[in-house]
Structure formats: C-alpha cells, structure tokens
Structure 1
C-alpha cells in the first residue's frame, strides 16, 4: 500500500472516469466502588448481585473438551487475584467454581447458565459468549460460555476486566462482535516488525478480542521482490512460531503474497509458484491466504499477457488478467482444500466512484473473494455508509472490508500517531466485513490505535474514542499513577494526524502554552505555573516511562520521548529568558537564549532508524517530530521577543533573478519555477526520491559575484519532511566544473555566506547520499544574493559561518572565525550615511575592543568580555558615526559573533 506517495493507478483511475516475554501483565484492579470498565463494550451487560471472591481454592470446570488457551487465561486471572486454581473436567458441587466452555464441549454449562437466570450462548453469532457470575445452588459460581472456542476465550478476557480487589461483581453479559474481521495488516514500507514484536502483538490482539493479522510487510523480500522463493532455515522456523503464536491467541494468521511487480498472470509456472508458496505456509498451519496487487507497475511483464489481454485503453486488460489469476487460486486451490475464501487488495484500491478497472475487476472476480479498500483516499479522514455502499457497488462485491491507513507512518517516518481512531461511522458493520488497521513501523507504539480498532469493530455504536484511548494508555502504563500521567502527557504530544480536516495539535500542551502567552500579554507571569509543571513532566519522560508495564512502547518511542524531553528543556530556558528580558538583564537573557538553542538543536538531531527496499537498516537518519509543532512555535515566538528586545534588524540584499531546474521530475503542478518566485507558500515538489546525485539548481544568467545562498526545503523551516537529507551546496561558472561550499545534514533551511565573493553562474543543491525512506524533495525557495556592502571583515570564517550571519537578526546563527585573530583582525558594520548612534550591542563571545568611526578616526567605546555572551556599549549621540567595528585581540580564542547591532 503506497502511503509515502499516491499510487499511479489512482491517477489512472481518475483518467478512467506460549505467552510472550514482553506481554502486558494482568494487573489486579484496586478496590473501588465504581463499576468495572469492560472494553470492547459488550452488547448487553448488567452488573449487580452477589460478588464472587477468587481467593482460596477455585475450581475451573472445563468439561471433556477444554480450550487450553481459555483455561490458561482463567488460571492466570485466579492466580493474580490471590486464588489457587484447580482444573477439573467435572464439578464437585462444592466451593467456588468457574465453568468454562461451549455447550458442546462442556454440556453442563448450559444448565449452570440457565440456573443463574440467563440463556446459554448457543444462539449467538460466531465468537459470541455469555458470562454470568453470582450464586448457583447457593455457591459462588462464574460461567464463561462461548458459542465457539473463540467466544469462550473472549469471555475469559472479559472476566479479566471484571476483577476488582480479588472479586468479581455479580454480572450477566451476552456479547458478540458486530464485524467478523477485526485486526491489523502489517503492510507498511520501512523496517518490518521484529519476530518478538509480532508475537507480542498476537497476545495483545487476544486480550482485546481482535481475530486477524495479515502478514505483508513491504520490505520482506520473500513477499515481493523474491516472491517465488520459499522460506527456509531460521526464516521458516520464525514463520512457524508466528503461526503458532497467532493460533494460541485466537488470531487468524493471513499470509499475503505480493507478486504483482513481475508476475506473468497467464503463466502456469507463476501460478504453480504461487500455490507452492501457499502450500509451504499451509503446512505450518496457515489457512487464510491473500494476494496483494497494490503499488505495482501499470504494465504487463510478459508477452503472453499482452497477447491474451490486449490493451484497448479501458483498463480491462489489467482487471481481467488479475481476476483470472485470483479466480484460479480460489477455485483450483482454496475451495478444493476447504480453506477460507481468498482475500485481495486491487491495484486501484481507493475512491468509491465507478471506473472501468473496478467494475471489470469485480464483475470477473469470483463472488466469494474478499476485496480490501482504503476509503475515498489512500488515507481517509472519514469512512461513511454512503461511501462504503458506493464502493461495494463499484467493485461489484458483497465482501468489502477496509484496509485503513491509520496509524501508519511510513509516509511520515519522523512522526508517531497516538491520537484516537475517529471518523468511522458507527453502523458500518451493517455494510462491510470488517477492518484491518495498517499500523506504524513502531509495533508497540501502534497498540493504542489498535485497541481503538478492537473496540470499534466489536461494537461500533458504543465506541467512545476518548474512553478507549484512556483505557489502553493506562493498560500500557501499568498501575502507577505517575507513569499513567506521564504516558498521557506524551500521547498528547502526538495528536496531529495530517489527513484529518480538523487537525488537532497537542491540545493539552497548547492549552498551557496559550494560557502562558495570555498571561504574558496581560502583563502577568502567573501563566507560567501550569506550563512549567507540564514541561517538567515532559522533561522527565525518559526516566518515568521506563517503568511502563509494556516496556516495548518506551523502547519504540525512545527517539520521540528523548526529543520531547529536550524540547521541554529548551522551553524552560525560553521562559527563563523571557523573565530576564522583563528584568532588562541582557547577560542571563542571552545565556538562557543560547541554552534553549542548544537543547532545541539536540531535539532536531536525526535519531530514528530507517530501511529501504534493499533491506539495509540505516541508523539515525530521521529527525523525530514531537509536539505537533507546538515546541517549535513557542521557541520561534519567544525568540522573536528576544530579537525585538535586542533591536536587531536584518541586513539583506535583494536576490538575483534566476531560472530554476531539477534533475528530478515534477509532482502535480508544483513546477520548478516555484523555487524562485519569491513566495515561501509555494513550492517545487519532485516526483521521485532525492537520491544520490540528484539536484535542484538555479541559473543566474551570467557569472556574478555571490555573497549569500538560502534554500528553504520541506514544508517549513523547523521540521524535516520531503527534502535532501544529505545535501552538498555547490557552485559553478560553466555548469560543468563545480566547487563545494559545504555539506548539510537534515537541514530544512540551508544558509551559506561566503567569506569572500564567489564567482558563479550556477548554484545547486545536490544529494550526497540516498534519502532515507525514499523521501521526495520539496523546495519552497532557492535564493542567491550578491555580496553585501553593509559589512566587511578580514577574518576567515568557518565554512558556512560567514560575516553576514552577524547581521541577519537571527542570534541562532553566528559568524565564527576559523582561527585565532591576528593583529588588525576586525568585523565592521558600515553606517551609511554617517549618523547619530546611541549604543552598540554585541551578542556573542570575543575578546577585543568596540570602536566607532568618526570621520577617519576610530574611537574605542568599550572592551569585550570573552566570558559574557551579551554586551551593550553607550555612544555619545552627538557623534556622527560612519562605522562600528569589533577589533579582535590578537591570539585570543576565535571570535563567535551572533549579532552586531547598531542603534
């Protein structure tokens, strides 16, 4: 499923018209007068009556055909509640008992359920169950009666949630799922889940009554690139363990093959290769099979297909070839073997409207084959009944179900999505077979969203997104209030799902930030209390979240947790900076400003690993984005106040007119000319990854002196996204021989000031290495400017740290000398025309004198303290000043001047 970029067929369609070690433990609920919360919400539930204690001896009555998985769950519940579980096939008629099983496997359970005033599960839908607790024959008894083994297992999972202080309240529950398919599809690009993570997923699915897992990670080469090859050795052993682990947790393990990149649909050899692969998996216990036809070339790869299915321009050629291939699998393999119907995702998998591909595909496809669909878009903000019914008609199917691209992040690999599942109509169960969520690359961080799918697909009309999210976060955190609060605080920082119309941005953090700024605008400082308290919680996340009940979550989210802590530390320094500004104290204000800059820079470092289709994991290549932009916005606003307080104004030189070009193609209408239109709200967008050797370039028309280059990448200046991640800035007089100006890593904004004017006609930004995750490239603006006459220096700067950075009204950048200054070394601001000056402000560290020019004479007005990052010097306003210079002390440490301000 393409989630990094829309698949080509969509555009064509528009033209066409054992328990795993890391499992969350069952924590007994503390004594409370509140009724227990059961999720997914049962269809019918009444609480009240005598409570059943689970202390002492508790007999689990199983009948002659017990389900071992359900027995193990109940045994664990009794033990966690302080009891001693004894398993028996029959009842002794004495003491506390838990009856367990189906009517067929444990015939006596029907009598018990009836005797406790309920009706057995025989007439419920598949996977349904009855749970009753209270008194039977004047004894404390619980009955867990499933309509089938899976129903019994789910009844045990409900019992787990009913326990309070070692007791089960009187209860009568009749429950069943509204959707038959409830689960996840591991269908993303990027680093596949680990073997242990998959096993832990199955345990989580069982606890939350999800029954489906589709195995189709895009970067498993034996599914796509080498789909004809069989598993062997350790890979085969791991597959066997996965199937066993899924089965133990009542999860259907569906094996999804993706042959579409190079299959010959009419080839007997390729059909045989498909069946051979499926047979290998069936021998391991797999009964559910799937052919994925998403994200494949819109062409045939063999002459026999081209001859058998001639292209007449209506896309029937592709639909017919695919349907015939799928029908053979269904009719010649699955049906004779007595296996469930085939599942598939077609090449055109989104949008509900009619088109020739969808209609022909559905008309020709066997009626029993299940078709997956993503909604109106690859990512769907909402999924409605009218949309679903329209799609079912377009695909001519009665077996439509949803491949939901939430919370998948392979298109936004620097993000986590911890917001609740919303926008799915509560009554969709009446029109589709179910849902599979496409989760994130991070398996444990996907669990909150997956719990939402479990609750929604089981009982959509009763689904409460906020309650579901609170419950699963508390489950993952464990019983400690401090950890629960910390996890909720972290989840709040990851709410912005960009495919929603009404995007929510870190609502709790934003509320505290808004209160802070409102108080500051009103002239008070009281608004900082709540914000500083929240920032302290965020700062402590790396320590607090290590105590989670589910340690895999903290491990998955570690880059984002660390970045959040660093951002929070930066904001604490920003608040202190603002307080120092209010006090008019420049030195502490600047120290706090620089400390905030340091921590923000740490937060912007790439610390997330990635993997491409070659299977190679690349370490620390993606910047984790956390806080939904709120941290960056606060820093920008606070720093704007600092700059305003400094009185700094940028010295700028108009950019040269230029013509833009690119070695990459263009996506949509985002033309290369937008790089040089002077408008940061428009952009050039490539249609391919920014891999090694690819470039964007401007032509100045003739060789000209160049002083500054500024390139704005991605969607904004503070977050990575589509851009060159490993960029080389180069210039040339002839477009053939190139000189290097410097390299930049993960920099949304590339800025470079030349020490001495460079002669160039062409300036380009070139990828020095492949982009992580196949990211495309966006360039919002590419400007090249002549040297400025407003300043001058005879000091050689470090590459990329030219003198212009001391006059850009951005204290985050600096003119940094490459070596210790020599006699006469200076940095000078020219004042034209000569005028009255009140003071000179220097932000930075250097040793030397501050001088002003009066006529031809330089007069010293003060000395720089190399230990102070801020200094202010008074100037006699009666003087007519034509220049201000910093005359550096010979042999002192290399000066770093962030701003030289004359006012």
Structure 2
C-alpha cells in the first residue's frame, strides 16, 4: 500500500477548500496520544513529519515556521474548556515548554513572547484580537465541533486555537499536537476545520466478552485524539442491559460507570447509555416506563446526558397486554420511545433519544418502517445497518432510499464492521472500505460495532475517524497505513512486522472478493510457479514465513501493548502455521533434489506444528455470562496456510504415496446432508481433500440428521474419519453425539463407531466391510446448541499409518 499524502511544506499558499484536499497535510509521522499514551506509546518521534488526521477541511500554509519559545503564555477565559486547557498544558510541557496560564481579563495582548490564545470567542475575549493578528476569520459559521487554528509571528509566536464550541476547542489542541510533531516548531499555518458528520464513534454492541474497564478508558483517550465524539455502551452480555434491565447498578459496577463517564467527558466523548429491554418489556406499561427512566436517572446522576433504547434482536410478537392496546409492533415501540423522549429526555434538556429499531436493515419500504418512522418523535436518532446486517458497501442511493423508508431526518449507521462476534476465531484488520464519499449529505453519522478485542479494533476506528470527519477526502489505504504505524510506533522494523501480521487478517467474509492474506498469497503463488520449473528455494516465501515465526517476540515492543495482547494468540498460531510450511518447503526442496529420505523426515515434522496451531487459546463468553479461557482456535492466514499444506501433501503423495506423514485420504465420493447450509460453506467441501475448506451447517443438528458420503462404487471399507470443528485438537461446532454407519445399498446400515466428544470421529475395522455409503447420524441434540462444521469426511480401504 502506498502513502499518497503531501508534506505540509508542499501545500499551496492559497486557501485549499474541501474539494481540493485529496493530498492531506503530511506523510509519515506518528501521532502522540493524550493521557499517558495508554494505547500507542504516548510519544511522537521528535522532529518527525507532521500529519493531521482527520484531514482538515481547509488549510493555508506559508513557507516559514513559527517557533515556540521555552516560556509559553496560554491565555484563556474564565469559562474556557478545562479539558482543552489540560491537554494543551500537557502537550507543551511534554514538548519541553514551561507554561504560564493567564486569564483573558489580565492578559496583555501586545506583550512579546510566545502566546497561545485558547477557547471560543464567547469565553475568551482575547481571541478576536489574536485572530486578527494571525489574519483569519473566527469559527462562527462552522458546524458543531469545528475550530480554527492559526500560527504567525508578531513580537514572538502567536497561536490562536479557537473552537466553535468546547469540543472544537479541544480538537484544535489535538491538531496542534500533530503539527508540533513532538517539538516546538510548527508551520505558519491556518486551518479552518469542521466535521461533515454529527455522530462519529463506536457502539459496543456485540455478543461475547465485554470490553474491560481499562480498555474503555483507553478508547476514550484514542477517540479524543482522533476527533471521535461518540461511544454507545450496550454490550450484549451485560446482563443489566438486557435480561436484568430493570435492576440498578451497584458497587464496583456503578463506580466503574462513574469513572467511564468522567473519563469520556474529559476527552469530549459523549457517553451514551443504551438499554435493551425488548425481550420482555410491555411497551404500554407504566411500570416498565418507570423502570426505564429510573435506570436512566441513575446514569444521569453520574453525568450521562445521552440515552438510547436498543430494540434489535428481540421477539417480533406483541405480548397479550400490548396486543390489546396497539395495532402493531412499531406502534407499541414508538409509543414507548416517544414517552421516554418527551417525558424524560426533553424534561431534563438532554440530547435527543437514540434507538435501533427491530427491523434495522434493508433500505426498501415496509409497513413496520413506515409506522416506526412516521410515529417516532422527529428528533429521535434512528440507527440502520445498511442493506444487510453486514453491508459490504453503503451507497448514496441506498441511504436516500432508507431515509425515505424510515421517514426520518436523523438516520445514522450502526456499521457492523469490524465486529467479529459471529466469527470469534477471526480478526478483521482490513481497512474500512465501501462507504460512499457523499453519505454525509444524507446521514447524521456512523458508529462502528467493533471487535470483541478492543485494541485490535483501533485500526478500523481510526479509519472511521478519518472517514466521518471528512468523507470526500477519505483514502482507505492511506488511513489504514497511518493507523498501523501509530499502533506500531516509530521503529521501522516493528512497523514492517506489524504489516506482515495484519496481512494475515485481511479477509472480510461479508464482502465478495475480499483479499485473503494478499502478500502471503502472492509469495505462495510465486513459490509454486518456480516449483513447477524445478526450483523450490522460495526465498521470498521463506523470508516471510521466517518473519511470521518471530512475530510474537518481535512485536512485543510495539507502541500499543493492548493491541499486542489482544492479538498475540493469532501471532502464536500464525507462527506454528509458518513452521509447518517451512518444514514442507524443505520437504519439497528435498523432493526436487531426489533426497527422498530427507523429504520424508521433513514431512514428519509438519503434524506437530499443525496440531499446535489448532489449539484453542482464545477465551470466550456466551449467553450465560461465564468467562472461560481457551475456548476458540485462532483462525489466521485466511486459508492460505491450509491451501499450501494441502497442495504440498499432494506433491509428496505423488512421489511417496506410502509416506506415513501423509494425512488420511478417503475414496472419491459425493457428499449430502439433511442439515441446512450456512452461506457458501457447501457440503461438497467435505470430500475435496482440502482441510482448508469446510461445510458449515446453518443451525444445530436434530436427532437423525445425517451427513453422508456415497462412493462411486462399492469398496471393502476398513477406516472412516470425520474431521469436524476448526481443528483436530479442539472441539467446537460439530456432532457431539452420533454414530458412524456403513451400508452397501443405502437402506440397511451397520454401526461401526461413535463420536466421543472430540473434534475427530474415527472407526477402524479389523475386517473390511463392503459398502458404498457411509454416514454420520446424530443420536442426540448438541448439549450446547452448537452448529456443525466438517472439514473432511474420509472413507477408505486402508487405515492410516500409525
């Protein structure tokens, strides 16, 4: 991926408007974070390139610098935002300055030396003169959260940081932080900036392990630095939000919420509390309304001013009491929502109520959407996920249609990227793509639904920050590169290694054509091309695989320790896969050179690495709310590792068909099942000889469901092997209670084995049994309600070598 932003010195001296800002302010550089740098190390490289992200709306720059002296006077008003003052003081002190804070009433605006004027024109009367001195207009007319930053020389350095409001003042400091790049010099620059989207942030709305308290605190620092202004608290497995929504918080939970609200406010992040009462609420009930506002009132006392009712993933049938009062689900819901908006939100002068309706996807009209949108209070903010629950793209046409279908002027997106609660074995570290650059003309904004891993989600959240602030200027690759560099820190070797790792987690399965470990795949393809010509050295592939084996130790010093800890299980698994491939590369090299004993010896070392890669090392938490260690096998490499291994075994099989290292291969056959199929995980994948592919059912199995293989003709069968779940070594989605059966005619069946709870079901016969059909039949429901995955179903005449 190539960076394409321009250095500040190359910007034109004339004012550059939004339409001409495709270059940005700078290339390279590392953004320093506030509040101790809990996420990305906290220290910018001294004298580094200056990068401003999100890309500002308008910039004017002169070919000269403004140098801050070691003594800096910060001039503020009595009501200037305290968070902005703290952030500015910390920034200047970190960069080696001594700060003297002066109130506007006692300031001498004609004095010499470095003066930084901070605030809004309303709270700091010295700003008007300062803005005139640096030759810029004030922030009047800008959107909420906008700001003006200007630096010039006048008896010393003069810097004006003028916010449209308190948050805009804070954001002006964040831009100054980037322009200083860890030093005391900045360009003689004028920045006039405002967001094009009102709502910019994240919704912690996934199933699975909720984020830790510390992770949320760290996220707020990150959001403030990146000009994200919204965090919605609604983790699905917080029982006090859903199944126990009427109960109040107490003890440590209440204290933690208080600290979250305080910290969010300190970074100008709107902490939105989202209740999910829809599973058992009576919409017309006075008691349930009182329970709602009582819960909200507990949070308002902590400083929350933004509330949300989540109506997603709930029953669509009204209860008896509501059915007698309302004509439809939508009518009942808007009755309840409007009552909260008018009787509570407006009564306390709070931000407008937010909600996600039960029918939250698809842009086309429906009776529910019409009733919901027309009935809802006009100020209510309504969330929508796009054309699908996961939307590969969100187009202007789709949004315009949805706005009309929901009859609202305040639609905004609940974007289910990069959330991984449906694929908990995966990390999605690819860029945010497919969002049209004109959506700000029709939407209030976006909240991203992140991954269960909070720090691993920061790449995409940095992308959302850049996109939502200035959609026409958003460059997905450039934003992604900058985010990766920020998390890695300034050391180039660590940045390179982090790119090696992120390459292994690029495929987003909800977008057709999404790349699969593209850099690794390219090296693999180059290897096989050379191999077909007799060259198995594979220098590029070997170098990449060697780097992958060292990812866990080499990335440990990266700037974001949280990202490292979140993703370490995937690094370790990737290292084991890479060791398996390196062993196979040596096997293939020996084959090309006729060293068959060496080839067999190299092959013998592959299995242990594959088994290690298949260990469950990721924790999980399901609907019971119980946290459990080592539940999930990390999936990394997007199938490229497995694909290489499958082909390499075929090369060995062709030369040494009896090698004991070879995996068991079943006879050719056709697979069928009574189970439904999830997406494109088709049943024929279980007989393709490739462990990188699999069948996945669309629901849990019932008693007497079967997965069956029909051979091309009758054979004397002695061995059957069914490899289920994601890995041979770790149970997962599979048949937990079932029997293996053989039949010559598909009518009369002989039981030859049973499942034992492991991921592999096998049966080996002392004497062969003539059969053409083999099936795995379910004898009891899965105790955990899990679905069924099968990677290979092998039926053969000869048992594998022991």
CA contact (8 A) 1:707 1:754 kept: yes
- Structure 1 residue 177: Cα displacement: 0.3
Q: CA RMSD in A?
A: 3.4
Moved more, 348-357 or 162-171: 162-171
- Structure 1 residue 49: Cα displacement: 4.1
CA distance in 1, matches of 2:681, 2:87: 60
**Which consecutive unaligned segments of at least 5 residues does structure 2 have?**
1-33
Deviations along 1:356-394, one digit per CA (max 9) or x if unpaired, are 111111122111111100000000011011100101111
385, 395, 407: which one pairs with 1:396?
Answer: 407
**Which consecutive unaligned segments of at least 5 residues does structure 1 have?**
1-17, 311-316, 789-802, 807-814, 816-903
Equivalent residue, structure 2, for 1:583: 593
Equivalent residue, structure 2, for 1:236: 254
Taking a change above 3 Å as real, the CA distance of residues 588 and 72 of structure 1, as seen in their structure-2 partners, is farther
After superposition, residues 781-800 of structure 1 pair within 5 angstroms as 788=797
Taking a change above 3 Å as real, the CA distance of residues 767 and 543 of structure 1, as seen in their structure-2 partners, is farther
CA distance in 1, matches of 2:387, 2:197: 21
After superposition, residues 203-218 of structure 1 pair within 5 angstroms as 203-218=221-236
Kindly indicate whether residue 531 of structure 2 is the aligned counterpart of residue 517 of structure 1: no
CA contact (8 A) 2:59 2:189 kept: yes
Q: In proportion to residue count, which structure has more strand?
A: 1
CA distance in 2, matches of 1:653, 1:505: 30
CA distance in 1, matches of 2:92, 2:685: 70
After superposition, residues 828-847 of structure 1 pair within 5 angstroms as none
Equivalent residue, structure 1, for 2:426: 415
CA contact (8 A) 2:591 2:599 kept: yes
CA distance in 1, matches of 2:333, 2:353: 13
Equivalent residue, structure 1, for 2:97: 83
CA distance in 2, matches of 1:756, 1:500: 49
CA distance in 1, matches of 2:530, 2:434: 35
CA distance in 2, matches of 1:640, 1:740: 29
58, 61, 69: which one pairs with 2:75?
Answer: 61
552, 562, 566: which one pairs with 1:556?
Answer: 566
Aligned to 1:59, the other structure's residue is in SS state strand
Aligned to 2:145, the other structure's residue is in SS state coil
Kindly indicate whether residue 510 of structure 2 is the aligned counterpart of residue 494 of structure 1: no
After superposition, residues 656-671 of structure 1 pair within 5 angstroms as 666=676
185, 190, 207: which one pairs with 1:167?
Answer: 185
TM-score (norm 2): 0.86
Taking a change above 3 Å as real, the CA distance of residues 130 and 260 of structure 1, as seen in their structure-2 partners, is same
Aligned to 1:223, the other structure's residue is in SS state coil
CA distance in 2, matches of 1:410, 1:144: 42
- Structure 1 residue 487: Cα displacement: 1.1
Kindly indicate whether residue 33 of structure 2 is the aligned counterpart of residue 22 of structure 1: no
TM-score (norm 1): 0.77
Equivalent residue, structure 2, for 1:804: 799
CA distance in 2, matches of 1:721, 1:291: 37
CA distance in 2, matches of 1:669, 1:83: 59
Equivalent residue, structure 2, for 1:153: 170
Kindly indicate whether residue 616 of structure 2 is the aligned counterpart of residue 606 of structure 1: yes
Taking a change above 3 Å as real, the CA distance of residues 718 and 428 of structure 1, as seen in their structure-2 partners, is farther
Aligned to 2:175, the other structure's residue is in SS state helix
Equivalent residue, structure 1, for 2:7: none
CA distance in 2, matches of 1:45, 1:700: 66
CA distance in 2, matches of 1:677, 1:688: 18
Taking a change above 3 Å as real, the CA distance of residues 596 and 167 of structure 1, as seen in their structure-2 partners, is farther
Taking a change above 3 Å as real, the CA distance of residues 669 and 735 of structure 1, as seen in their structure-2 partners, is farther
The total of aligned residue pairs comes to: 749
- Structure 1 residue 408: Cα displacement: 0.3
Equivalent residue, structure 2, for 1:73: 87
CA distance in 2, matches of 1:248, 1:651: 61
After superposition, residues 218-297 of structure 1 pair within 5 angstroms as 218-297=236-315
Aligned to 2:630, the other structure's residue is in SS state strand
Deviations along 1:793-826, one digit per CA (max 9) or x if unpaired, are xxxxxxxxxx6113xxxxxxxx2xxxxxxxxxxx
Equivalent residue, structure 1, for 2:476: 465
- Structure 1 residue 209: Cα displacement: 0.2
- Structure 1 residue 636: Cα displacement: 1.7
CA distance in 2, matches of 1:679, 1:326: 53
Query: Which protein, 1 or 2, shows the higher relative CO under an 8 Å CA cutoff with sep ≥ 6?
Result: 2
CA contact (8 A) 1:58 1:86 kept: yes
CA distance in 2, matches of 1:568, 1:294: 41
- Structure 1 residue 529: Cα displacement: 2.1
Aligned to 1:367, the other structure's residue is in SS state coil
Deviations along 1:425-470, one digit per CA (max 9) or x if unpaired, are 0010000000000000000000000000000000000001111111
Rg comparison, structure with higher value: 1
- Structure 1 residue 171: Cα displacement: 1.0
CA contact (8 A) 1:676 1:782 kept: no
32, 44, 51: which one pairs with 2:65?
Answer: 51
Aligned to 2:643, the other structure's residue is in SS state helix
25, 31, 35: which one pairs with 2:47?
Answer: 31
CA contact (8 A) 2:740 2:763 kept: no
CA distance in 1, matches of 2:459, 2:333: 36
CA distance in 2, matches of 1:700, 1:389: 49
Equivalent residue, structure 1, for 2:202: 184
Taking a change above 3 Å as real, the CA distance of residues 94 and 477 of structure 1, as seen in their structure-2 partners, is same
Taking a change above 3 Å as real, the CA distance of residues 225 and 730 of structure 1, as seen in their structure-2 partners, is farther
